[in-house]
Amino acid sequence: MTQPPHPLAPHPRAKALGYLRDDVSGQGWQHDEQAILSLATRLGYDLVKTVRMNPDIHDPLHRLLIIVRRLDIAAVITPTLEHIGAPSRLCRACSLITITPEYNWALAYQPFDGSAQS
């Protein structure tokens, strides 16, 4: 029988990753990064980092998915859906949260325990 966690023990916060595409954010990328940090903090996520992809990257969503899986990310936070495109591919791996409009596109995340197939 396992013991319940001590009530004063720190609770690990779910990890989030910020995501920007340079061709979408343009010169406003710093504002977008700050908005991602603000929303992650307000929602109680531990923002691990913000990834910026430039337009020369082939299949940036595939690269994002690799990072999400390697870091066991619960949610990706992005300014708008335009940065991601269609959310379905990403939502199979984690939640997608957009800032404008503020919306959680899925709650697909399950912590990686090694038993699931990728």
Per-residue model confidence as pLDDT tens digits over 45-87: 999 999 999 989 999 999 999 999 999 999 999 999 999 987 8
Domain enclosing residue 40, as ranges: 15-104
80 in any annotated domain = yes
Local confidence band at 117 (pLDDT 50, 70, 90 cut-offs): very low
Please state the pTM of the whole predicted model: 0.81
Q: Measured between alpha carbons, how far is 103 from 65 in angstroms, rounded to an integer?
A: 20
85 in any annotated domain = yes
9 in any annotated domain = no
Average pLDDT over residues 91-110: 83
5 in any annotated domain = no
115 in any annotated domain = no
2 in any annotated domain = no
Q: What is the CATH number of the domain that holds 30?
A: 3.40.50.2300
Residue 32 has pLDDT above 90, yes or no: yes
Number of domains in the chain: 1
Residue 46: per-residue pLDDT? 97
Dihedral sign from CA coordinates of 104, 15, 18, 76: negative
